[in-house]
Amino acid sequence: MNCYGSDLMKTAAGMIGEGENVLSPPAPTPRRCFDLGASVARFFAASPWRVALVGSSSWSHGSLTKKHGRLYPDLDADQRRHDELKNGEFRNWGKLTEAEIDDTGQHELLNWICLAGAMTEINRSVEIVDFVPSYIFNSSKCFAAFPPAGLKIGSVGALAASAPA
């Protein structure tokens, strides 16, 4: 899926640049991503398979944050998303608007919104979170786990102990 939205081609290397009438494939809405994640979770929950669902991306990107001259990410918005994640408010990320995503340069958050929909559907909570805001690497980094009930990610051998024999 294209998580870069309408700015993908405008900000790509070698393109003419801002203000040019360049079409990019549309990104899905946050609601659509959330619902997709919920559907994927329902499918696998009803299946005989053990799976891991992964949402991998950075959050705001300097190159996609127009209000900062595309020079640095929106660290305030990233901090708000991190706080929402820690507090279980990721369950509301499907209500974010496309305008909010575009304004904050958080286009890749759409990948996380798919995961938020899945984790909401199967009633998982965030067990551990690390957040690394950064001007240097053009985007903030966040790490989270949504383990099954009773599994403590931080304990030695927890993942091995949860594996079937």
- Note the pLDDT tens digit of each residue in 17-60: 555 666 677 788 999 999 999 999 999 999 999 888 887 888 88
- State the Cα–Cα distance between residues 24 and 145, nearest whole angstrom: 32
For residues 72 and 62, the answer to whether their CB atoms sit within 8 Å is yes
Could you report the per-residue pLDDT of 104-147, keeping only the tens digit for each?
888 888 999 999 999 999 999 988 778 888 877 788 888 889 98
- State the Cα–Cα distance between residues 62 and 138, nearest whole angstrom: 5
Among 126, 131, 132, 133, smallest CA distance to 154 is for 126
pLDDT value for 20: 61
- State the Cα–Cα distance between residues 72 and 87, nearest whole angstrom: 26
pLDDT value for 18: 56
Q: What is the pTM of this model?
A: 0.83
Could you report the per-residue pLDDT of 65-99, keeping only the tens digit for each?
888 888 889 999 999 999 999 999 999 999 999 99
- Residue whose structure tokens are 């009803």: 46
pLDDT value for 41: 96
Q: Which residue has the higher pLDDT, 160 or 142?
A: 142
Instruction: Tell me the pLDDT band of 11, cut-offs 50, 70 and 90.
Output: low
pLDDT value for 165: 44
- State the Cα–Cα distance between residues 53 and 43, nearest whole angstrom: 12
pLDDT value for 156: 47
Q: Where are the beta strands (DSSP E) in 46-155?
A: 128-132, 141-145
Handedness of CA 35, 40, 41, 45 (dihedral sign): positive
pLDDT at 14 exceeding the cut of 60: no
pLDDT at 155 exceeding the cut of 60: no
pLDDT value for 70: 81
Q: Which H/E stretch holds residue 84?
A: helix 75-86
